[in-house]
Amino acid sequence: MNGAGSYVALAAGVVVAAALTYALLFNRLRSAANQVITAYATIDAELQRRHDLIPELVATVQASAAHERTLIEQITAARVAGERAAGDQAAIAQADATMSSLLPQVFAMAEGVPTLRTSSSFLALQRELVTTEDRLAAARRFYNFQVRDLNTLVGSAVSAPIARRHRISVAEYFGDAPS
């Protein structure tokens, strides 16, 4: 091979390597963006599960603890705020935080109401809500890990231009960003 032929082969190799690198980085970015979407869907499903349990909780508590009207109204308002926040991630996170702070108060209040402490339906509902809260916390953590991974890729020097070209942007953490 003469000198010109080796330059052409070298140039072709560089072009192929650049194209493969571009494709690999794009695929990593798209995969990370899809992971964030999937992780958020898990949070959304757990929030919906919790929202579906709240009316039953309110009805059970109202029947046995009419004197706790303020707490019942707060939890109902938090549920409504969560449902109205559809699509607004910051509002959803705020409604989630409010609900997460109110549910332990309901359970603590129930400890002082003998009919609730012995009610099998309330105890089953309480277990279901505790399980849902645990699953929701895990879903939040998983989502925030996925956001961190995507944001790292989008912000890296090598993949940032590809992310901009394909409109793949950083995602917002759910609630407060992890430290």
Report the pLDDT value the prediction gives residue 128, as an integer from 0 to 100: 92
Overall average pLDDT of the 114-120 stretch: 79
Rounded to 5°, angle at Cα 141 from 139 and 96: 65
Overall average pLDDT of the 90-107 stretch: 88
How far from 99 is each of 64, 82, 88, CA to CA, in Å?
Answer: 21, 9, 16
Listed range (72-76, 96-100, 111-115) with the worst mean pLDDT = 111-115
Q: Are 150 and 32 in contact (CB under 8 A)?
A: yes
The DSSP secondary-structure symbol of 55 reads H
Give residue-wise pLDDT tens across range 3-57. Answer: 777 888 888 999 999 999 999 999 999 999 999 999 999 999 999 999 999 988 8
Overall average pLDDT of the 83-88 stretch: 84
pTM: 0.81
Q: Are 166 and 26 in contact (CB under 8 A)?
A: yes
Q: Name the nearest CA neighbour of 162 among 12, 14, 27.
A: 27
3-state secondary structure 79-123: HHHHHHCCCCHHHHHHHHHHHHHHHHHHHHHHHCCHHHHCCHHHH
Domain residue ranges of the chain, discontinuous segments joined by +: 29-165
How far from 179 is each of 144, 148, 175, CA to CA, in Å?
Answer: 11, 11, 12
Let me know if domain 29-165 sits in CATH 1.20.1440.20. Answer: yes
Q: Which of 57-61, 144-148, 172-176 has the highest mean pLDDT?
A: 144-148
d(CA 139, CA 100): 14
| Band (66; pLDDT cuts 50, 70, 90) | low
